Structure formats: structure tokens, C-alpha cells
């Protein structure tokens, strides 16, 4: 006979994986849309890509990879009853998320300041493929940025739980699921970065 607690853990894990699958479908749809229009407007997409700051994109990639490492290490720390270390590592993950969003704000502000945003006169006056590229760029990075914000808030709440002792070596499923969500956010950026910033 299975233990009720084990059933709860299995249910929580299964629920999280199902949720992550729906998230993959969402971004998968955006990437499919990107592929369709890239085939139609390869030159305009390449031109649009040159107008993005690949240095800032690269920095944000390093930041998110670092944040994922911190989240994974925090889970290991909790499993080893090192709650103080876990809190510090989760704080590092949240700080990385804040840094990522600040850089994204700087990028968006620069683009909007130059009249590059969906529906702008500047883009409407240019080739349609370029307008589609930037519309997809703002949509993809905007939805991803929202996920970063939600993930940071979720990990912040979990950090409070770790600090209070309710998430511990005997009960860490909440942190495990939070870290899984964060790894997905990281993974999605790993696809977004080359598609938009490194397109040739």
C-alpha cells in the first residue's frame, strides 16, 4: 500500500511537469511562428538581428545560466540541511533575475527610443519582414520577461519558507518544483538568444 505522503509528492511533481509542458507548447508556438516568417523574410530578419545588442544578450545569457546554477545548488543545500546556504543561493538566483530584467529594460528602452516597437511609424515605413521580426522579438522577450518576474517572485516566497524551516531536507518538493520552473525559464532564453541576437 502506497504512503499518502508519497502520493502527494508524486502528484505535485506530475502537476509541475504537466504545467511545464503547457509552457513549452506556448513558446513552441512562438518559435514555430518565427520559423514560418524567417523562411518568408530571411533578409529582413537578418537585418533586424543586427539592430539588437548581442553583447547585452550574451550578458543576460550568462546571468540566467548563473541563476540556474544557484537554484540547483540551493536545492542540494536544502537536501543536506544547509538552510542558511540555500537562502543565500536563492538570494543569488533572485538577484540574477533582477539583473536580467534591468538589462532587458535598458534594451527595450533603447529600441523604443529609436522608434522600434510594434506598430511604430518607423517600422511601418520599412519592409514588412522587419516589422514582423521586431513584433515577434517584443512578444517573445516580453512573455519570457514576465516568466522571469513570476519565477523570481515564486523563488522569493520559497526562500521565506526555507528560512522558516517549512521547506527542509524532509520536505523540499516546493523548492524542487520552483527550481524546475526556473530551469525552464533559462532553457527558453537559450533558444530566444540565438534566434534573435545571433541570426545571420
CATH assignment at residue 105: 1.20.120.80
| pLDDT of 2 | 46
Cβ contacts of residue 34 below 8 Å, gap of 6+? Answer: 136, 140, 195
Query: Are 35 and 199 in contact, with CB atoms under 8 Å apart?
Result: no
Distance CA 149, CA 104 (A): 12
Least confident of 5-19, 31-45, 86-100: 5-19
Please tell me the predicted confidence (pLDDT) of residue 200: 67
Q: Does residue 9 sit within a domain?
A: no
Domain range for 127: 16-197
List helix spans (H) across 128-172: 128-164
Overall number of domains in the chain: 1
Residue 59 makes CB contacts below 8 A (sequence gap 6+) with 103
Residue 158 lies in a domain: yes
- Is position 124 within any domain? yes
Domain membership flag for residue 11: no
Q: Please provide the average confidence, as pLDDT, over all residues in the chain.
A: 93
pLDDT tens readout for residues 110-128:
999 999 999 899 998 989 9
Res. 6 pLDDT band, cuts 50 70 90: low
Residues 59 and 77: their CA atoms lie apart, in Å, by: 27
50 domain residue, yes or no = yes
What residues contact 68, with CB distance under 8 A and at least 6 apart?
Answer: 93, 182, 183, 186
Q: What is the per-residue pLDDT across 139-177, written as a single tens digit (0 to 9) for each?
A: 999 999 999 999 999 999 999 999 999 999 999 999 999
- pLDDT higher than threshold 90 for residue 15: no
Residue 182 domain-assigned (yes or no) = yes
Inside any domain, residue 6: no
Question: Does residue 49 lie in a domain region?
Answer: yes
Amino acid at each position: 500500500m502506497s504512503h499518502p505522503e508519497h502520493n502527494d509528492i508524486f502528484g505535485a511533481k506530475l502537476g509541475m511537469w504537466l504545467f511545464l509542458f503547457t509552457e513549452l507548447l506556448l513558446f513552441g508556438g512562438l518559435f514555430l511562428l518565427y520559423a514560418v516568417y524567417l523562411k518568408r523574410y530571411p533578409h529582413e530578419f537578418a537585418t533586424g538581428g543586427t539592430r539588437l545588442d548581442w553583447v547585452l544578450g550574451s550578458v543576460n545569457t550568462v546571468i540566467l545560466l548563473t541563476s540556474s546554477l544557484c537554484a540547483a545548488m540551493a536545492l542540494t543545500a536544502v537536501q543536506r540541511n544547509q538552510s542558511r546556504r540555500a537562502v543565500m543561493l536563492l538570494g543569488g538566483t533572485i538577484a540574477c533575475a533582477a539583473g536580467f530584467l534591468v538589462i532587458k529594460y535598458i534594451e527595450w528602452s533603447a529600441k523604443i527610443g529609436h522608434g522600434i516597437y510594434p506598430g511604430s511609424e518607423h517600422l511601418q515605413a520599412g519592409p514588412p519582414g522587419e516589422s514582423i521580426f521586431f513584433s515577434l522579438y517584443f512578444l517573445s522577450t516580453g512573455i519570457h520577461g514576465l516568466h522571469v518576474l513570476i519565477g523570481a517572485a515564486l523563488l522569493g516566497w520559497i526562500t521565506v519558507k526555507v528560512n522558516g524551516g517549512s521547506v527542509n531536507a524532509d520536505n523540499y518538493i516546493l523548492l524542487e518544483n520552483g527550481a524546475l520552473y526556473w530551469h525552464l525559464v533559462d532553457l527558453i532564453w537559450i533558444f530566444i538568444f540565438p534566434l534573435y541576437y545571433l541570426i545571420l
